[in-house]
Chain A
Amino acid sequence: MTDKKEWPLWEVFIRSQHGLSHRHVGSLHAPDAEMAIMNARDVYTRRNEGVSIWVVRASDISASSPSEKGPLFDPANSKVYRHPTFYDIPEELGHM
C-alpha cells in the first residue's frame, strides 16, 4: 500500500454513570465519526465508565491561545463579587 494516510484524530467525551455532563477523557484515531464512537466504546468504556459518548474531530476545536492568557483571564481575578460565596446553599439542593 503506497497511500498510507493517517486516520484523523478525534477527541472523546464521555458522560459517566452519575455524571451530569460529558467530560473529555482522551483522544483516538478513526476513519470517520461512526467508527470513532465504536473505538471510543472499546478504548474508553471497557470498565463500565459511560452511558453516553460524544466524539468531535480534533481539528474542529478552536482553542484559546496560551499567549493571550493574561488579557483573557486575569481581569476576572479582582472581581470577587462574581463568585457566589456570599450565599448559603441549602443541603437539600444537592449538586449545583
Chain B
Amino acid sequence: MAGQDALFEYLLRLGDNALILGHRLSEWCGHSPALEEDLALSNVALDLIGQTQLWLNLAGEVEGKGRNADKLAYLRDARDFRNVLLVEQPNGDFAVTMARQFYFDAWHYLLLRDLSGSKDGRIAEIAAKALKEVTYHLERSQEWVLRLGDGTEESHRRMQEAIDDLWVYTGELFEADAVDAAIIREGLGPDPASLRDLWLGLVRATAEEATLSLPQPGWVQKGGKQGLHSEHLGYILADLQFLQRAYPNATW
C-alpha cells in the first residue's frame, strides 16, 4: 500500500478508536452509579474526543481532499469507520464498561508510548499529548478492575463475566495488515504484534491481583480495522451523526 494512503488509513484507525469509545463513555453521562464517577467518565470521554480531533484533522490533512475532523466524524458511513470492534461494544453494566476500558487503555498506553517516538513529528506530538491523558485513564480503569474483581461476590462475578465476554475482541488489537506493514516499514508506528506480550503482562498482573482469571487465547473476532463492524456501530452513528445528516452544515 502506498505511503500516504496507508498513513490516512492508520490515522483514521487512531481517530476512530478514540471517537467511538469517547461516544460510548459519553452515554454514561447522567447515568453513572455516583456523581463522582459521572464526572470521571465524562472527563475520559472528553479526553478521547479531544484526541479524535487531533487524529482526524491530521488524517484530513494527509488525505488532501479538504475534509476535516468534523466531516470525517459526521459524514462517513459505518463501512468507512476503522475502529477496532472492542470500542463499539455496548456499555453493559459498570463492570463491562470498566473491563472494556481496561483492555483498551492498556493497549492504547503501549501504542501511544511507541508512537511518541514516531518518525513523523506530527504523530509523535499528538501521541505525546495523548499519552499523558491515557496514563491516567489506565490507572483509573485498572483500579476499578482491582476493586470490582477483588470486591464483593457479586462484583467479582460481574467483572469476571465482563473479562470473559470481551476477551474475544482483544486479539484484533495485535493483528497487522497491509496498512500496518506500510506504517512499520516507514518507521511511523510499531508492529501491533510487538505490543502483545507487554499488554498481556500488564493485563495478567492486574487480573491476578484482582483474583480474576484470563481466558485462554482462542478465536479472535476481528474486522473493525478494515471497516467490517458489528451491528452496534450503526446505532452509534445514528446517534452521533443525526444532526449533521438531518440538517447538513448546521452549526451552533
> Could you list which residues of chain A lie within 8 angstroms of chain B, going by C-beta atoms?
1, 3, 7, 28-32, 34-35, 38-39, 41-43, 46
Contact = CB atoms under 8 A, between A and B. Distances in A.
A1 B36 CA distance: 20
A39 B154 contact: no
Contacts of A3: 152
B206 interface: no
- Per DSSP, chain A at the interface is mixed
B36 A39 contact: yes
Interface residues of B, number: 14
27 contacts: A1-B154, A3-B152, A7-B34, A28-B35, A28-B36, A29-B35, A29-B36, A30-B36, A31-B147, A32-B147, A34-B143, A35-B143, A35-B147, A38-B40, A38-B139, A38-B140, A38-B143, A39-B36, A39-B37, A39-B39, A39-B40, A42-B36, A42-B39, A42-B40, A42-B43, A46-B39, A46-B43
Contacts of A28: 35-36
Contacts of B140: 38
Given A1-B154, A3-B152, A43 B143 contact: no
A7 B136 CA distance: 22
Contact of B39 (A1, A35, A43): A43
Interface in B130-188: 136, 139-140, 143, 147, 152, 154
A43 B154 contact: no
A43 B152 contact: no
Contacts of B147: 31-32, 35
Contact of A43 (B36, B136, B139): B36
Q: Which 5 A-B pairs have the closest CB atoms?
A: A39-B36, A42-B40, A42-B39, A42-B43, A28-B36
A30 to B, nearest CB: 6
Contacts of B40: 38-39, 42
A30 B143 CA distance: 12
Interface centre among A34, A39, A42 (most CB of B within 10 A): A42
Contacts of B143: 34-35, 38
Contacts of A43: 36, 39
Interface string B9-46: 00000000000000000000000001111011001000
